[in-house]
Structure 1
Amino acid sequence: MTSQPPPPPPYGTPDAPLLTVRGEADLEVDPEIARIAVTVTARGKDRRTTLDDLTHRNTTVLDLIKSYGDAVENLATGSVTLTPELAPRGRGERIRTYHGNIHLTAELTDFTALGELTTRLADLELTRIDGPWWQLRPTSPVHRQARQQAVHEAVQRAKEYADALGTTITALIELADAGATAGRPRSAFDRRAVRFSMAAAETEQAAEPLDLEPQRIHIRAEVNAQFTMHPPSL
């Protein structure tokens, strides 16, 4: 049997100099998902009436969002609150009014439908809209593309350094993920969220759909790589 050459040591030596480089990748891509938050509110002096109003408005919002079918990828209820507000004066614990809130989140993949849905939701009574937040899916191939590009750059950078010394790299010693940033909107200023809080419109015609321009997502990946190279002639 022919013996295999020993692996290179995990440190530099005169016979196997160590070369450490960083590979980086910066990508700007279109978002895949837009997330909005919807808060439904009810207020009244009677607890049961307030709860009934809150339930009715919540059902109206859910039915409206679900009517967009496949354009809505995810719909979830976050929290429900019904809080009594005590009168500031007087003896005893006298309740002045009740406040009710239901928080919903919806994720859409059709951004044309997003503009129309946002307008229709904002046109409902005592309904608040926050968003949109532009995102990539966790399983998006863009993340893989960024990591691979960072690795390729690290290898290319190592070859260029070795070439400058008149030699070549021989083996990879270590490859470490230096940390990747999650996808975030790329913008000249922070406008990640737009908020709406409107009462029901007293007009005969529906409001015009909002024209929402998706913000491109910035993805960054970094790796640290160590190579050995043939001894250069200095």
Structure 2
Amino acid sequence: MTETPTPQPAPTTHHPYGTPDTPHVTVRGEAHLEADPEIAHLTITVTARSTDRRATLDDLTRRNTTTLDLIKSYGDTIEKLETSTLTINPELTRHGRAERIRSYHGHIQLTLTINDFSTLGELTARLADQELTRIDGPWWSLRPTSPHRAAARRQAVREALQRAREYAEALDTRLGALLELSDTGTHHGPLGRAAFAESMPYAAAAGGAEADAAPIDLEPVRQNVDAQVEASFTLIPPTLG
């Protein structure tokens, strides 16, 4: 016995640009906010040099340990501490027709994220006061999970909805249903950097100062947070004419 197949409903034709019976409206919503930064980033480069390779490495290790100990003494205010690069390279000089090693240069680069700006100026000054140490930064930013980003996205959605309603009101009708919501970008401006810190030069190669350097007054750079969305809605068919 052959079973009679059950009739299937005809597929609904999708009209991405709407029809007279289901017109669409597509709008963009934008938000532009300002917020205080939540974290600051520093790059610390520790250097050593000597005519002896092993002496260079030993000196670099000692200075790196001193720097790490200083940073870690600030406890939970240090959100992240990483060693990004370590290099030991010879400096060559020409001697007659041949080249010979004149000295060895060593560098260790650390990257630091700090969340307590009240101690940032003190830490920066103490790091810069160390011998053969370079400081770059600070760069200011928001965390990826910052509530300011979420606030910007919500504001962008509200603006898109308000704009769509205004178009509907202009046609003497109202919105029907949401068809699509697209996030076209949520970001903040370039990392702000304190005006003083184009780059702090290497501290003097002589021994450290007898007392810690005075804290540096740093003013955080406010962050711009932008969000954009696109939203498509159906409209109750308006009566035109």
- Return the TM-score normalized by structure 2: 0.87
Q: 1:171 aligns to what?
A: 177
After superposition, give the CA deviation of every residue in 1:43-87 in whole Å (9 maximum; x if it has no partner): 110111111111111011000000000110110101100001111
Query: Does the aligned pair in 2 maintain the 1:38–1:105 contact within 8 Å?
Result: yes
Q: 2:225 aligns to what?
A: 219
Q: Secondary structure at the match of 2:95?
A: coil
Amino acid at match of 2:29: G
Amino acid at match of 1:141: P
Equivalent of 2:147 in 141, 148, 158:
141
After superposition, give the CA deviation of every residue in 1:148-188 in whole Å (9 maximum; x if it has no partner): 2111111111001111221101011111111222453469x
1:108-147 matches, within 5 Å, as 108-147=114-153
Task: Measure how far apart 1:193 and its partner are.
Answer: 5.0
Gaps of 5+ in 1: 1-5
Q: Which has the larger radius of gyration?
A: 2
Gaps of 5+ in 2: 1-11
Which range moves more in the overlay, 203-212 or 130-139?
A: 203-212
Query: Does the aligned pair in 1 maintain the 2:35–2:222 contact within 8 Å?
Result: yes
Whole-angstrom CA distance in 2 between matches of 1:173 and 1:193: 49
User: Is residue 2:200 matched to residue 1:196?
Assistant: yes
Query: Does the aligned pair in 1 maintain the 2:130–2:208 contact within 8 Å?
Result: no
After superposition, give the CA deviation of every residue in 1:89-142 in whole Å (9 maximum; x if it has no partner): 334442100000000011000011111000000000000000011111112222
State the number of aligned residues. Answer: 227
1:2-151 matches, within 5 Å, as 9-151=15-157
Q: Percent identity?
A: 59
Whole-angstrom CA distance in 2 between matches of 1:42 and 1:118: 20
Would the alpha carbon gap of residues 124 and 202 (structure 1) be closer, same or farther in structure 2, given more than 3 Å must change?
closer
